[in-house]
């Protein structure tokens, strides 16, 4: 199908993009376009205008920040996946970026576009929630506020970015010594979206897990934190038996409305969550050691 008619504007700065948003009610920002353009063609979105922010250099790049990294919202998945800085500070993020879509998607799609689109099956919302990332959001008045990833994703394709605001960067903390993270996903064979994705961030001391954060995506509208799985891992030596028993709790932790479709039912997703949690925990533990 063809997309509905819309006006097109190219912004050269964040301030100009905000002015265009204010002047065009119903407009949407265009980043890499790999999420928005298919929605336009399917008539699932009908914005009055597209405001292209792809040429705004201030929104691109990866820099060291206090205790971690600042990743510009227009940084491509390829640049995140191949960044030595990201690999050194938070390798779970670069690993996840390397598994998004295919080469074309990674070279055009952006981390900010993925986050702002908030597709439940996207990889970055799950991973960024697990590592405790935060989002920088620029307001129309020039002010910038920061929202933790855990509070950023409000529902299916709904985020904390308000009217006239623009997501400008993602701040990713350094996992630190003794900590490791891993992401495991059951990818849809056509889209490479996560049917179920599990992110684990563990801190190990003397062979014992002293802290665990487990997040599952793809099963519910927003990333789900698995409290009882975390409790079963914390304070334990992570033998295969302990990991298996803790991961079996995943199904009970995933509450709310589970998603299901022709490819994978809700109950299938619930079952697969435990399998991929176990894989993520095992890999994260090996990194933490």
Residue with token string 């409290």: 227
| pLDDT at 83 (0 to 100) | 97
pLDDT of res. 89? 92
| pTM of the model as a whole | 0.95
Output the pLDDT for position 286.
95
What rounded mean pLDDT belongs to the chain? 94
CA–CA separation, 148 vs 124, rounded Å?
A: 14
Tell me how far apart the alpha carbons of residues 188 and 45 are, in angstroms, rounded to a whole number. 23
Whether domain 179-288 has CATH 3.30.390.50: yes
Q: What is the pLDDT of residues 108-130, one digit of tens each?
A: 999 999 999 999 999 999 999 99
Q: Where does the pLDDT of residue 183 fall: very low under 50, low under 70, confident under 90, or very high at 90 and above? A: very high
Name the DSSP class of 264. S
Mean pLDDT over residues 26-53, rounded?
A: 88
| 49-52/7-10 β-pairing | parallel
Does 182 have pLDDT greater than 90? yes
Residue 289 has pLDDT above 90, yes or no: no
Question: Is beta strand 28-30 parallel, antiparallel or unpaired with respect to 49-52?
Answer: parallel
- One of 2.40.30.200, 2.40.400.10, 3.40.50.2000, 3.30.43.10 is the CATH number of 7-52, namely 3.30.43.10
What residues does each domain of the chain span? Answer: 7-52, 60-172, 179-288
Q: Which of 41-45, 100-104, 173-177, 189-193 has the lowest mean pLDDT?
A: 41-45
- How long a stretch of residues is the chain? 289
240-244: average pLDDT: 97
Q: What is the CATH number of domain 60-172?
A: 3.30.465.10
Q: Are strands 62-65 and 208-217 parallel, antiparallel or unpaired?
A: unpaired
The burial of 69, by beta-carbon neighbours within 10 Å (0-12 exposed, 13-18 middle, 19 or more buried), is given as buried
Confidence of residue 101 (pLDDT cuts 50, 70, 90): very high
User: Of all residues in the chain, what percent carry a pLDDT higher than 90?
Assistant: 85
Of residues 34 and 131, the one with the higher pLDDT is 131
Confidence tier at 3 by pLDDT (50, 70, 90): confident
Distance CA 35, CA 49 (A): 16
Q: What is the pLDDT of residue 128?
A: 98
Contact assessment for residue 72 and residue 61, using Cβ atoms and an 8 Å cutoff = yes
């Amino acid at each position: 199908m063809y997309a509905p008619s819309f006006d097109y504007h190219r912004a050269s700065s964040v301030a100009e993009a905000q002015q265009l948003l204010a002047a065009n009610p119903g407009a949407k920002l265009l980043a890499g376009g790999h999420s928005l353009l298919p929605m336009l063609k399917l008539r699932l979105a009908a914005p009055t205008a597209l405001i292209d922010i792809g040429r705004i250099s201030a929104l691109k790049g990866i820099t060291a920040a206090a205790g971690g990294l600042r990743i510009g919202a227009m940084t491509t998945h390829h640049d995140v996946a191949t960044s030595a800085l990201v690999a050194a500070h938070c390798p779970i993020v670069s690993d996840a970026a390397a598994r998004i879509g295919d080469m074309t998607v990674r070279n055009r799609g952006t981390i900010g576009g993925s986050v702002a689109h908030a597709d439940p099956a996207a990889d970055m919302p799950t991973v960024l929630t697990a590592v405790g990332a935060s989002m920088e959001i620029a307001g129309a008045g020039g002010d910038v506020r920061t929202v933790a990833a855990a509070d950023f994703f409000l529902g299916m394709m709904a985020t904390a970015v308000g009217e006239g605001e623009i997501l400008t960067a993602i701040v990713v903390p350094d996992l630190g010594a003794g900590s490791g993270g891993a992401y495991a996903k059951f990818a849809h064979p056509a889209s490479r979206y996560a049917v179920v994705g599990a992110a684990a961030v563990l801190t190990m001391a003397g062979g014992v897990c002293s802290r665990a954060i487990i997040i599952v995506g793809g099963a519910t509208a927003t990333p789900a934190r698995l409290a009882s799985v975390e409790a079963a891992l914390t304070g334990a030596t992570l033998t295969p038996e302990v990991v298996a028993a803790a991961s079996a709790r995943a199904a009970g932790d995933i509450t709310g409305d589970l998603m299901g479709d022709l490819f994978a039912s809700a109950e299938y997703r619930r079952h697969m969550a435990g399998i991929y949690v176990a894989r993520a925990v095992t890999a994260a533990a090996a990194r933490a050691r």
